[in-house]
């Protein structure tokens, strides 16, 4: 039976309305503290899941070589799993649906492989990426049941036992899956994927364009500057020292394992600092502004600049925009992604192109005399393009624009929706006429 957040008698959670078809999946992550015996069981289950994945992959390859077809569907893989369990009793130590999730992971890997092959045929420059054998598995998933909250600080999981959990907030909605994972620092987490019905928020009245950068993390069109915390650079000296200490240790020794764990913990600390900063900043923006405009950046291409790649990754612009995107859903705000071409060269006042190098930090227009910081001019141009993208309407009179969907297709959507879900819109706007 599927577990519901209401199983906890000490909390109240919002229930899904049976009349509402628009829901979204949210992940709630909690720290857990398994005992030594439970860690041994989890490590053994990870080992068996890895072995099962690699066995299924070998069967698929062998079948393709012999008959030209492959067992790449989940139902076919699950039948193979049943036969393997009958032959080898070791796999009974893993919950049955967790093994079925291994088949689901491999089936999805094949689906993505076939999708990329089709994209290559139409001219896209992507790697096909045939599924490879796994060296390690660091998580197991309970897709439907096999887990429950035993109390407010205990999580009961099949084949593992009662695990202490820090339930710092209650998972909302209906819990669909549970994933138990371990990071490289040896920390354990329980991640609940919940189907929630987002409450419609009242959007703020303000509008803002945001220019992300390295000198300043973000510059707003109203002149506000959000400084770049540079978490990686501040911790770089200690990270280098820990890296040197680890490299001196003998490979395979206990001291080296300790040094690896110590280095991994500090990397996790830096990542947690960055994530907290991005969460706080994105939440403040969507609560303050009803329209948030950003550039549609291709960060993978920017990372080819080896002089700036480290700083771009430390800023995590893609993660920041992704947080703005899903938080706009609950806040009732609009997120508009605009074409970034010439936003730094075009004058916001007269629309003329004023060429300047990246090192020039002040925009001075020789045509109209407008002078402002380079990033402020860019933010103003972003906001102007977002407004131009809003001027088109569809037959019902609502504002419409061209969204970017997960599949890459574009189409007209209603105002106040995002990929079929209510309360926000993610749109792209073209360049305004010069």
SS (H, E, C) 12-29: CCCCCCCCCCCCEEEEEE
pLDDT tens for each residue of 284-336: 999 999 899 999 988 888 888 888 899 999 999 999 999 998 888 778 888 99
> What's the burial of 159, exposed, middle or buried (CB within 10 Å: 0-12/13-18/19+)?
middle
- In the chain the domains, ranked by start, together with CATH numbers, are 5-196 (no CATH), 206-228+269-429 (3.30.420)
pLDDT tens for each residue of 202-257: 777 889 999 999 999 999 999 899 999 999 999 999 999 999 999 999 999 999 99
Which two structure tokens, joined as six digits, stand for 284? Answer: 């403040």
Q: Kindly tell me if the per-residue pLDDT of 400 is higher than 70.
A: no
Mean pLDDT for the stretch of residues 400-414: 31
Which two structure tokens, joined as six digits, stand for 187? Answer: 């920390």
Q: Is 88 a catalytic residue?
A: no
Q: Kindly tell me if the per-residue pLDDT of 417 is higher than 80.
A: no
Which two structure tokens, joined as six digits, stand for 357? Answer: 């190098």
Which two structure tokens, joined as six digits, stand for 242? Answer: 């820990």
Q: State the pLDDT at residue 22.
A: 60
Give the 3-state secondary structure percentages of the chain, helix then strand then coil, rounded to 5: 40, 20, 40
pLDDT band with cut points at 50, 70 and 90 for residue 5: very low
Residue among 76, 198, 211, 314 flagged as catalytic: 211
Kindly compute the dihedral angle of the four CA atoms of residues 404, 408, 410, 416, in this order, to the nearest 10 degrees. Answer: -30
Q: Kindly tell me if the per-residue pLDDT of 125 is higher than 80.
A: yes
Specify the pTM: 0.78
pLDDT tens for each residue of 151-163: 889 999 999 999 9
Which two structure tokens, joined as six digits, stand for 376? Answer: 């402020």
Q: Are 382 and 428 in contact (CB under 8 A)?
A: no
Strand segments, DSSP code E, in 201-251 are: 206-212, 216-220, 225-227
Residue among 198, 314, 337, 375 flagged as catalytic: 375
Q: Are 219 and 211 in contact (CB under 8 A)?
A: yes
Q: Kindly tell me if the per-residue pLDDT of 19 is higher than 70.
A: no
> What's the burial of 119, exposed, middle or buried (CB within 10 Å: 0-12/13-18/19+)?
middle
Residue among 295, 314, 334, 337 flagged as catalytic: 295
pLDDT band with cut points at 50, 70 and 90 for residue 200: low
3-state SS class at 158: coil
Give the up-direction half-sphere exposure of residue 413: CA atoms within 13 A in the CB hemisphere.
22
Mean pLDDT for the stretch of residues 258-284: 95
Q: What percent of the chain has pLDDT over 70?
A: 84
What own/partner pairs with CB < 8 Å and gap ≥ 24 does 68-73 have? 70/110, 72/106, 72/107, 72/110, 72/111, 73/107
Please state, in angstroms and rounded to a whole number, the distance separating the CA atoms of residues 342 and 304: 20
State the residue for tokens 């993610």: 426
Q: Which of 66-75, 133-142, 304-313, 411-420 has the lowest mean pLDDT?
A: 411-420
Please state, in angstroms and rounded to a whole number, the distance separating the CA atoms of residues 194 and 172: 7
Q: Is 119 a catalytic residue?
A: no
Strand segments, DSSP code E, in 107-173 are: 139-142, 147-151, 154-157, 161-164
Q: Kindly tell me if the per-residue pLDDT of 103 is higher than 80.
A: yes
Residues in the chain: 434
Q: Are 203 and 331 in contact (CB under 8 A)?
A: yes
Query: What DSSP string describes 26-81?
Result: EEEEEEE---HHHHHHHHHHHHHHHHHHHHHHHHHHHHHHHHS----SHHHHHHHH
By C-alpha distance, which of 145, 179, 195 is closest to 32? 179
Strand segments, DSSP code E, in 173-265 are: 174-182, 188-196, 206-212, 216-220, 225-227
pLDDT tens for each residue of 350-377: 888 988 888 888 999 998 888 889 999 9
Q: State the pLDDT at residue 18.
A: 37
Please state, in angstroms and rounded to a whole number, the distance separating the CA atoms of residues 124 and 305: 22
pLDDT tens for each residue of 373-394: 999 999 999 999 988 875 332 3
Q: Is 314 a catalytic residue?
A: no
Q: Kindly tell me if the per-residue pLDDT of 63 is higher than 50.
A: yes
Please state, in angstroms and rounded to a whole number, the distance separating the CA atoms of residues 215 and 315: 10
3-state SS class at 165: strand
């Amino acid at each position: 039976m599927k577990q519901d957040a209401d199983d906890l008698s000490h909390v109240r959670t919002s229930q899904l309305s049976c009349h509402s078809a628009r829901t979204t999946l949210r992940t709630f992550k909690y720290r857990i503290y398994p005992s030594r015996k439970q860690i041994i069981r989890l490590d053994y289950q990870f080992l068996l899941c890895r072995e099962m994945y690699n066995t299924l992959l070998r069967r698929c390859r062998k079948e393709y070589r012999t008959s030209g077809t492959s067992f790449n569907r989940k139902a076919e893989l699950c039948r193979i799993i049943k036969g393997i369990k009958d032959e080898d009793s070791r796999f009974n130590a893993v919950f049955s649906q967790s093994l079925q999730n291994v088949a689901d992971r491999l089936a999805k890997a094949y689906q993505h492989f076939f999708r990329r092959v089709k994209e290559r045929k139409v001219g896209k420059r992507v790697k096909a990426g045939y599924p490879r054998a796994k060296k390690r598995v660091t998580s197991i998933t309970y897709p439907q049941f096999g887990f429950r909250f035993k109390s407010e600080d205990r999580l009961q999981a099949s084949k593992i036992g009662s695990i202490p959990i820090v339930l710092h907030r209650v998972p909302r909605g209906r819990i669909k899956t549970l994933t138990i994972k371990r990071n490289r620092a040896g920390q354990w987490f329980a991640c609940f994927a919940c189907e929630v019905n987002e409450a419609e928020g009242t959007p703020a009245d303000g509008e803002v364009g945001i220019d992300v950068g390295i000198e300043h993390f973000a510059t707003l069109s109203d002149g506000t500057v959000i400084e770049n915390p540079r978490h990686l650079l501040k911790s770089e000296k200690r990270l280098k020292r820990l890296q040197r200490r680890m490299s001196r240790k003998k490979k395979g020794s206990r001291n080296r394992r300790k040094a690896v764990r110590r280095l991994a913990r500090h990397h996790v600390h830096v990542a947690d600092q960055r994530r907290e900063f991005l969460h706080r900043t994105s939440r403040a923006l969507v609560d303050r502004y009803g329209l948030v405009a950003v550039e549609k950046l291709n960060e993978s291409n920017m990372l080819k600049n080896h002089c700036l790649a480290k700083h771009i990754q430390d800023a995590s612009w893609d993660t920041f925009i992704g947080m703005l995107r899903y938080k706009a859903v609950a806040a009732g705000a609009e997120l508009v992604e605009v074409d970034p071409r010439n936003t730094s060269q075009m004058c916001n006042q007269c629309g003329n192109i004023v060429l300047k190098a990246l090192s020039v930090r002040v925009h001075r227009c020789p045509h109209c005399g407008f002078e402002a910081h380079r990033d402020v001019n860019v933010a103003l141009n972003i906001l102007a393009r977002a407004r131009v993208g809003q001027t088109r309407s569809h037959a019902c009179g609502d504002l419409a624009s061209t969204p970017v969907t997960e599949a890459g297709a574009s189409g007209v959507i209603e105002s106040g929706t995002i990929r079929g879900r209510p309360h926000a819109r993610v749109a792209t706007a073209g360049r305004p006429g010069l």
